[in-house]
Amino acid sequence: MSKMHPQVRKYRRTLILLTGALVIWWILSSSLKSLVNSEFTKLERHMNSEVPSTLSIINRSSFNWSNVSFRFPAGDMIPLPTGKSRQLPSIQARFRAETSSAKEKREAKRLEVKEVFLNDWKAYKKYAWMKDALSPISGGFLDQFSGWAATLVDSLDTLWILGLREEFDEAVTAVANIDFGISSSSRVNIFETNIRYLGGLLAAYDLSKREILLTKAIELGDLLYSAFNTENRMPVDFIEFKTAKTGEGLTVESSVVSASPGTLSLEMTRLSQITGNSKYYDAIARVMDVFYRGQNQTSLPGLWPKYVSMSAQDVTSGDQYTLGGCADSLYEYLPKEYALLGGRELKYEMMSRGFLETAKNNLLFRPMLPKNEPILIASSASVSSIGEVSLDEETEHLACYLGGVYALSGKLFDKPEYVKIGTKLSLGCVYAYRSFPTGMMPERINMVACKSFEDCEWDGARFDKEKNKQREWKDHIPLGFTTAKDPRYILRPEAIESVFIMYRITGKPIWQDLGWEMFMAIVNGTKTEMGTHAAVKDVTRAAEALPQDDYMESFWLAETLKYFYLLFSTPDIISLDDYVLNTEAHPFLRPK
């Protein structure tokens, strides 16, 4: 075989190098062009450019919570984990390019969601501006969360995401006048204040970088920090407002729902990350250490009882367990805190895996259905003195968040089984929506559990026997359900939350189709004569005009409509690889 001439080899190497350089240049330039022209980048330019100086005027609160001298100071601080984040797996699917027809249909749906939001926002502005909640039937208002304009603050990031620049600027200016030195109530609920107010301010700051929002977040964060001025540094459930100002110390309640102390981590961590002040992270790290130490010491190891005692630092006593209300966001925050900390704190992965496994084996069930649909339902249980677990075969709308949490965890921890479980849980809630004649899921329902996830054949005689045990059973309830104990729909977001997450994780358009069905049913079923939207008293019976309550929770604008809007937005808008959403759908930027 003849040898290649040295000069030829030289030219060949040069050609290969030039070709490689051109390929790299083309890839980088294409990526840069894609980034510059991305929908999220366009949105950022629209919302964040040329902010008038008049929108930077801040009115400080009448009381400076940072100046309170604590009777029970923290002592040595637990530092915020810093340094380079671990290389966590991608969460979102790789989406294919849209056809022009598919884009047109998606855009039409997105704009319809935006119109519903804007109409309800205008009603809030007209009838309840700077109040906590709109009364959507009478045109009145309520102040049930200390009177700091809960709906306004809760909706800030939704306004930004929807590209409503004029409305966002107006809302930010209004936030500058909120006075966290006064309260319409003598006691401040730290759970609601944390997720709605602090979460709303932090997310809006992460998106817009408006200093007004950070200033107000710090003011409120310092108010909430006073909840930890207790003898054992565990937080109170309600802050006695006047007493907290004195710094003399607060008394921790003997019993609280586990979600209350367990749902402070994301907000306090993000506040520390933004400000560089570890005191907020230190406060919640001490709380979560108590949960970490007690996780495997309970009567159902891996889960915590519904009620805990932070005064005794006892999170192990008790025999009632649930994945729904009272405990829900405690579990939701574990994998999300792991992601927000960039995987630097492994105890959150351990706690996440522990609860997901125990829940899978004890609190999830496959319901017995006439057509044997392979769905899963999240439930509650009690544990006897000899360790026997009794499932109550009951679920609630609040528990519909769990499908999304399993799917997110499956991606974060490289556990495909969890994504499959998340799919079945999400479809379980969709099934409930589609089963009732109004297309909406009731607040609380019962079904009959199959013997296992696999062994599940319809047994009419068994179903009749089980339904007859339920005094709340009514003959109009769809087959497969033994009760609709609480027949209301109060504009809740948890089901569409999981549908949105499943879409972003799988990239499958079926989730958009299911979400659109839900949207149309909800919007039509909750619409008032004023054109606003209100809670419905009974979704188990069809009627031309459903009975309604004169109430519109702030989470309707903050969560429910936001998730619907994001479902029909391009996947770069609030990418799950860049943001962690708190339990009120407020997106916190993940540090890289």
Which residues share a beta bridge with 579?
A: 589
pLDDT confidence of 21, banded at 50, 70, 90? low
Q: Render 473-523 in DSSP notation, one character per residue.
A: --TTSPTTEEEEEE--B----HHHHHHHHHHHHH--THHHHHHHHHHHHHH
pLDDT confidence of 4, banded at 50, 70, 90? low
* Alpha-carbon gap, residue 350 to 85, rounded angstroms: 17
Among the ranges given (57-61, 86-90, 215-219), the one the predictor scored with the smallest mean pLDDT: 57-61
Q: Are 333 and 350 spatial neighbours (Cβ–Cβ below 8 Å)?
A: no
- Residue 36: predicted pLDDT: 56
Q: Render 225-262 in DSSP notation, one character per residue.
A: HGGG-STTSPPPSEEEHHHHHHTS-----S-EETHHHH
- Residue 592: predicted pLDDT: 84
Residue 34 has pLDDT above 80, yes or no: no
CA atoms within 13 A on the CB side of 258: 29
Which tens digit of pLDDT belongs to each residue from 287-300? Answer: 999 999 999 999 99
pLDDT confidence of 411, banded at 50, 70, 90? very high
214's CB contacts (< 8 A; 6+ apart) are 201, 205, 274, 275
Which tens digit of pLDDT belongs to each residue from 466-488? Answer: 999 999 999 999 999 999 999 99
- Residue 35: predicted pLDDT: 47
Residue 429 has pLDDT above 80, yes or no: yes
* Alpha-carbon gap, residue 494 to 402, rounded angstroms: 8
Which tens digit of pLDDT belongs to each residue from 56-72? Answer: 788 999 999 999 999 99
- Residue 375: predicted pLDDT: 98
**Burial class for 165, CB neighbours closer than 10 Å (0-12, 13-18, 19+):** middle
Torsion of CA 338, 151, 193, 331, to 10 degrees: -30
Mean pLDDT, range 559-575, rounded to an integer? 98
Mean pLDDT, range 400-416, rounded to an integer? 98
Residue type, 442: P
The secondary element (H helix, E strand) that includes residue 356 is helix 347-362
pLDDT confidence of 32, banded at 50, 70, 90? very low
Which tens digit of pLDDT belongs to each residue from 113-171? Answer: 999 999 999 999 999 999 999 999 999 999 999 999 999 999 999 999 999 999 999 99
- Residue 28: predicted pLDDT: 44
Among the ranges given (7-21, 86-100, 207-221), the one the predictor scored with the smallest mean pLDDT: 7-21
Torsion of CA 273, 275, 279, 281, to 10 degrees: -20
- Between 583 and 24, the higher pLDDT residue: 583
- Residue 57: predicted pLDDT: 81
Mapped onto helix, strand or coil, the DSSP state of residue 137 is coil
Mapped onto helix, strand or coil, the DSSP state of residue 544 is coil
End-to-end CA distance of the chain: 54
- Residue 58: predicted pLDDT: 86
* Alpha-carbon gap, residue 551 to 534, rounded angstroms: 6
**30: its two tokens:** 């294409």
* Alpha-carbon gap, residue 260 to 90, rounded angstroms: 30
Average per-residue pLDDT in the chain?
A: 95
Which tens digit of pLDDT belongs to each residue from 571-585? Answer: 999 999 999 999 999
**436: its two tokens:** 């009732």
- Residue 479: predicted pLDDT: 98
* Alpha-carbon gap, residue 90 to 411, rounded angstroms: 7
Residue 201 has pLDDT above 50, yes or no: yes
Summarize the chain as % helix, strand, coil (round to 5). Answer: 50, 10, 40
Q: Are 65 and 218 spatial neighbours (Cβ–Cβ below 8 Å)?
A: no
- Residue 85: predicted pLDDT: 85
178 phi/psi in degrees, rounded to 5:
-70, 135
- The rounded percent of the chain whose pLDDT value lies above 90 is 91
pTM of the model: 0.94
Using CA of residue 400, residue 336, residue 151, residue 159, what is the dihedral sign?
Answer: negative
Mean pLDDT, range 177-193, rounded to an integer? 98
Angle, CA of 551, 555 and 558, to the nearest 5°: 130
* Alpha-carbon gap, residue 449 to 382, rounded angstroms: 15
- Candidates 360, 388, 392, 389; CA nearest to 376 is 360
- Residue 16: predicted pLDDT: 66
**172: its two tokens:** 């930010």
Residue type, 404: G
* Alpha-carbon gap, residue 227 to 443, rounded angstroms: 31
pLDDT confidence of 29, banded at 50, 70, 90? very low
- Between 214 and 37, the higher pLDDT residue: 214
* Alpha-carbon gap, residue 264 to 283, rounded angstroms: 9
Q: Are 530 and 542 spatial neighbours (Cβ–Cβ below 8 Å)?
A: no
107's CB contacts (< 8 A; 6+ apart) are 568
- Residue 8: predicted pLDDT: 58
Residue 324 has pLDDT above 60, yes or no: yes
- Residue 30: predicted pLDDT: 43
Query: Parallel, antiparallel, or unpaired for β 389-391 and 394-396?
Result: unpaired
CA atoms within 13 A on the CB side of 197: 30
